[in-house]
Amino acid sequence: MSGAEDATTRTPPAADAATPRPRWQVILVRPETVTFLFLIVATIGASWLSPFFADVRYILESFTFYFEFAIVALILTMVIISGEIDLSAASMMALSASLFGVAYQAGLGIPGAMAVSLLSGVLMGAFNGFLVINMKLPSIIVTIGTLTLFRGLAQVIAGDKSIGKFPAWFIGIDYRFVFDVPIPVIVFLIVSLILGIFLGTSAIGRQIYQIGTSPIAARHAGIRVNRIKYGLFIAMGLVSSIAGLLAASRLASVRYDLATGGELQMVLIVMLGGTYIFGGRGTILGTFLAAWLLVVIATGMTVANIPINAQLTVLGLLLIVSIIATNAIHVRTQR
Amino acid sequence: METATTSSAGETVISARGISKQFAGIEVLRDVDLDFRAGEIHALVGENGAGKSTFAKILSGVHRPTRGTLALRGELVEVPNPLTAQRLGITLIHQEPVSFPDLSVAENLVLGRDQGSVLGRVPWAKITRDARESMDQLGINIKVNVPMRGLSIADQQMVEIARALASDSRLIIMDEPTAPLTPIEVETLFKIVRRLRDEGRTIIFISHRLEEVRALCDRITVFRDGNLVHTGDVAAVDDEEIIRLMIGRSLKEYIHKRRTEIGEVALEVKDLCLPGLFSDISFEVRKGEIVGLAGLVGAGRTDVARAIFGITPAHSGTIAVNGKDIGVAEPTEAIALGLAFVPEDRAAAGIFQSLSVEHNITAAVPGRIAPRGFIRHALERALANEAVQKMRIRLASLRQPIGELSGGNQQKSILARWLLTDPSVLIMDEPTRGIDVGVKSEFYDMIGELAESGRAILLISSELPELLALCDRILVMSEGRLTADLSRAEATQENVMREAVPKSGVHSPTVAA
């Protein structure tokens, strides 16, 4: 690089000589580090509030209530990193689960009804993708629209009654264990691991970050921005329908109001995990840790007999604090 | 027009002392001392990034200086924002007029002026009457109740000038006002500017065009690399000398002496049309050839480049690379065919600001860093390292965010990105804009070397000397059409400019879709 010296001596002594950040600092400003610290503090706090809490089995079982949202939050993390958002996931869960129930009642059998449900998830995701990508509309508005639309359709299709009477083998996934660990926990671990590896090490994972950092620069670099975003929206639909089926199994019935308000919990998990709301940054590990953090806080408050309305206040504050924290970190590291 | 203060010609109106400005630790302006007199037209010249616009923005309150003081008629003043500047009688007229396109001409004229109380009624009749008066004073015929959107760039500029007069500005700064104008419009502008001078006002005229400076200005100040290198009467220096002052060396040193074998046609464009932006564009670029694309701002050069690369594809026409007809609808496809494109807007379309230099360099070659879909870090590191060495990119670490590098090193990283794709056709849109002079000459050498290695190069630049020095041929665009194809022998500054200025006399505003 010596040749550059004489050519550039007249340029101001400058920014190109900036020293790289020390490694400890790089690790410390990783947003999921904050999530991890929160998790430890919350766990200690909860055990201190109630002796019943420090029971691993109890925590694992509590997790099965949040599991469906947590698994959707993993894909939502990737959507937000790509610079978009999808608020319609909980409604997609409800509509796909309602279709599942109706199809089962119509005599399609569980496998057929599951296929209908998964297909509907893909179609709903594609519909969101079509509006955002082809119609060039902002995803936040589109998915608020489809949030209402899908929930409404679920009500039209399933009516106001619960649909149940599923075969015994289908229901109660949260009460099945492998080596004492509930199946939902195992599923969440495996899906997190796969998505973590995909987002962190695949070429497409890299491109998702690049799209979120600058969609225009990404397009100029030959990255298939639209195709990847389409893929993410469809993945959202698919994972939502899977989550809908898991909820159906856990609840042993479906109703149009399944998972109402769940989109906010999903966003809360993603934000708690340190994903940057404006895209380009975030990790699956962060979301994974945040899912546990949410469980620890919520169940911790329950065992400590904190009333449910106070719990909402705490969660709301938590969301705001986490957004401020990640924002501060990202602004700092971007100078 | 009643003037609050009358300045006799020659008296110093505003003086700058030790003005310096830093952006993100980079000093873009160093210790500038400069006096402006009443009743003079003062030219500020210099290459892009030399500091002349930054200086103008400091005078007009857009930027605050890092160090230094401003004095207005001997009194120290602070100019923290444009509104204060306007109250002090200083107005900056931007190259692309910044107005509110949906408001009427009259409304735009009164912007920023006190209009009575917050809840008071808007005195529409008075506003309209005043606006009409200002227009009459300038001797121009613009309807004041139509929205700004419908006006030509020239007329919009006139409205800005009228606005400056309405607030009785004593110092009017014009940042490259003639760039988008036709010759007739330029004449009108000059007439008005001379009249303003004769009224005792000071006009600062920022321009690239020496012939305009010569025709209009009394004194000239040359900036280079953030330093003021010369101030004096225009008549006292010749063009050669001004150019030497601007670039710090004689232009002739840049001229490329290489003799490359020019090979077969690498890029052939036929009858390319995109309504509203350009039409009937046909040309070819051969292997080893550097073809320049000259024209004024808004002539459609960038749009043609973007169409070829598939960012905003043309509606009709054909593009062939290495003899193969292709339909490019996406940059991804263009890259696969051997095209590469260095965009004009480096910050938005080139770099991923907050991502590492390494990830920026390898962004266009996922297949090379991730042969089976998963990234192999050793492979990526090696590719990036090699590129950094080859392009002599100055950085602290490959993991550093690219936004921390200087403009020149960012641009080298973008070029490095494209070289990894081994393109046969390289399109560069203003590749040396905002780059230090020293690094610029490195770029010129690199562009030459790229052509020598058998690549076809299409070079878009607004700096004519750059095109004249580097190119084997120069294509000229004007108003969305190709108007000339000049060989190196035919290409002179005058010939190119003659073809570049619009002939129709009507400015066709390029409306962004």
In a domain, A38, yes or no: no
Nearest beta carbon to residue A15 from set B25, B367, B438: B25
Residues 6+ away with beta carbon under 8 Å from B446:
B391, B415
Q: Chains A, B: CB contacts under 8 A, how many?
A: 137
CB pair distance less than 8 Å for A14 and B349 = no
Question: Which pLDDT score is estimated for B53?
Answer: 82
Range of the domain at A200: 58-260
Chain A: give the shortest CA distance to residue B349, in Å: 4
Question: Which pLDDT score is estimated for B24?
Answer: 63
Interface with chain B: mutation pick from A2, A16, A81, highest number of B CBs within 10 Å: A16
B268 forms beta bridges with B284, B320
**Closest-CA residue to A68 (of A164, A160, A184):** A184
A158 forms beta bridges with none
Q: Is B147 on the interface with A (CB under 8 A)?
A: no
Q: Is A89 on the interface with B (CB under 8 A)?
A: no
Quick count: other Cβ atoms within 10 Å of Cβ B57?
21
Please tell me whether residue B232 adopts helix, strand or coil conformation: strand
d(CA B141, CA B155): 9
Chain A neighbors of B367, CB-CB under 8 A:
203
Question: Which pLDDT score is estimated for B504?
Answer: 53
Q: So where are chain B's domains?
A: 12-248, 260-338+424-508, 355-422
Please tell me whether residue B324 adopts helix, strand or coil conformation: strand
DSSP assigned state of B317:
E
**Domain at B260-338+424-508: CATH architecture:** 3-Layer(aba) Sandwich (3.40)
Q: Cβ distance B468 to B474 under 8 Å?
A: yes
In a domain, A269, yes or no: no
Interface with chain A: mutation pick from B394, B402, B413, B441, highest number of A CBs within 10 Å: B394
Chain B: give the shortest CA distance to residue A335, in Å: 9
Say which residue the tokens 């962060």 belong to. A286
Please report the DSSP string for A9-59 in residue order.
TTSPS-GGGPPPPPHHHHHHT-HHHHHHHHHHHHHHHHHHH-TTT--HHHH
CB pair distance less than 8 Å for A203 and B395 = no
d(CA B200, CA B10): 9
In a domain, A301, yes or no: no
Nearest beta carbon to residue B359 from set A3, A206, A333: A206
In a domain, A8, yes or no: no
Please state the ipTM of this predicted complex: 0.83
Question: Which pLDDT score is estimated for A333?
Answer: 57
Chain A neighbors of B369, CB-CB under 8 A:
203
Q: Is A210 on the interface with B (CB under 8 A)?
A: yes
Task: For CA atoms A130, A136, A139, A141, give the dihedral sign.
Answer: negative
Number of structural domains found in chain A: 1
In a domain, A240, yes or no: yes
Stretch 297-326 of chain B: residues touching chain A, C-beta under 8 Å: 309, 311
Token pair of B114 as six digits: 């006190």
Chain A: give the shortest CA distance to residue B368, in Å: 10
Q: What is the CATH number of domain B12-248?
A: 3.40.50.300
Q: Is A33 on the interface with B (CB under 8 A)?
A: no
Distances (CA, A) of B432 to B44, B311, B358, B428, B441: 20, 22, 22, 9, 9
Chain A neighbors of B438, CB-CB under 8 A:
7-11
Distances (CA, A) of B414 to A273, B118, B334, B388, B393: 32, 51, 17, 11, 11
In a domain, A236, yes or no: yes
pLDDT per residue, tens digit, chain B (513 aa), is: 434 444 455 788 888 899 888 876 667 888 899 999 888 999 998 876 678 888 888 888 888 888 888 888 888 888 888 888 888 888 888 766 666 778 888 887 776 665 556 666 777 777 788 888 877 777 777 788 888 877 777 778 778 777 777 777 888 898 888 776 777 778 888 888 898 888 888 999 988 777 888 888 999 999 887 888 889 898 888 877 887 787 665 555 555 555 667 889 999 999 999 988 899 999 999 999 999 999 877 788 999 999 999 999 899 898 999 888 777 678 998 999 899 999 988 888 999 988 999 999 999 999 999 998 899 999 999 999 999 999 888 888 898 889 888 788 899 999 999 999 999 999 999 898 767 666 777 888 889 889 988 999 999 988 787 888 889 999 999 888 999 999 888 888 778 877 887 665 444 444 333
pLDDT digits (tens, 9 = 90+) for B144-177: 888 887 777 777 877 877 777 777 788 889 888 8
Percent of chain B topping pLDDT 70 = 88
CB pair distance less than 8 Å for A333 and B354 = yes
Token pair of B372 as six digits: 């089976």
Say which residue the tokens 């050069």 belong to. B301
Q: Cβ distance B374 to A202 under 8 Å?
A: yes
Q: Is B332 on the interface with A (CB under 8 A)?
A: yes
Question: Which pLDDT score is estimated for B3?
Answer: 41
In a domain, A162, yes or no: yes
d(CA A19, CA B7): 52
Q: Cβ distance A191 to A72 under 8 Å?
A: no
pLDDT digits (tens, 9 = 90+) for B371-406: 988 999 999 999 999 999 998 888 888 988 898 887
Provide the strand spans (E) within B132-175: 171-175
Say which residue the tokens 């860093």 belong to. B369
pLDDT per residue, tens digit, chain A (335 aa), is: 333 333 333 333 334 344 555 666 666 667 778 788 888 888 888 888 777 666 777 778 788 888 899 999 999 999 999 999 999 999 999 999 999 999 998 888 889 999 999 999 999 999 999 999 999 999 999 999 999 999 999 999 988 888 888 888 888 777 777 887 788 888 899 999 999 999 999 999 999 999 999 999 999 999 999 999 999 999 999 999 999 999 999 888 899 889 888 898 899 899 888 898 888 989 999 999 999 988 888 888 877 777 877 877 887 888 788 778 777 776 665 53
Nearest beta carbon to residue A11 from set B332, B359, B438: B438
Residues 6+ away with beta carbon under 8 Å from B427:
B305, B308, B309, B339, B340, B341, B342, B457, B458, B460
pLDDT digits (tens, 9 = 90+) for B10-65: 788 888 899 888 876 667 888 899 999 888 999 998 876 678 888 888 888 888 88
Inter-helix orientation angle A56-81/A225-251, to 10°: 150
Q: Is A213 on the interface with B (CB under 8 A)?
A: yes
d(CA B149, CA A305): 64
Cα angle A262-A264-A269, degrees, rounded to a multiple of 5: 100
